[in-house]
A and B are shown apart, each in its own frame.
Chain A
């Protein structure tokens, strides 16, 4: 069965600093990988997704993620964090007609 691990429950980053959120997946084939963001009181919004091709994927709001098959990872990055990025971030994996499996989430706190 597919699974997703987000090792960090919460991370605090200073505004303007770089960010990396970790995601590891367990899946037999090449998965489809996603990052979603949930702002306080809101539903989830898709940041980016990977399904094939270039392993570095660009998303909205200045985020990017890199698929590394050898490490079974799909880490989310942003070069300079803004206070408005404070939210909970979810990594998800799926394949074909399967439903998505979500990680448990990483809460990002941005300090002034």
Chain B
């Protein structure tokens, strides 16, 4: 089944403890991205990647890192999480780069930083 998977789905952590949220797609998509969703703010893009080893900042990149060593994986790294990073995170992918491409979303990761 074609899908985008994220792990973990739920995570509670404490301020400053490094964490990684994994994202994997099995559709051979070139483009992958991370969003955060906050009440009243909709979805905001954190980082995106147009292909392997090509990443760029989105609208809200502060406090996050990403890597794209393989086409299928695009992990989101929080080196030193803070409470303002408590949010619902979505990974998405599309076949190619471009606004016209349909994006496929993962199920989301709900993060609570204490």
Contacts and interface: CB of A to CB of B under 8 A. Distances in A.
B106 A105 contact: no
Interface residues of A, number: 24
Interface of A is mostly: loop
B102 A46 contact: yes
A85 interface: no
Given A49-B102, A100-B99, A42 B42 contact: no
Contact of A102 (B40, B42, B98): B42
Interface string B42-60: 1111001000000000100
Interface of B: 4, 33, 35, 40-45, 48, 58, 90, 92, 97-100, 102-103, 105-108
Contacts of B40: 9, 104
A39 B92 CA distance: 16
Given A44-B105, A96-B98, 18 more contacts: A41-B108, A42-B108, A43-B108, A44-B92, A44-B103, A49-B100, A90-B42, A93-B99, A94-B99, A94-B100, A96-B99, A97-B97, A99-B33, A99-B99, A100-B99, A102-B35, A104-B40, A105-B42
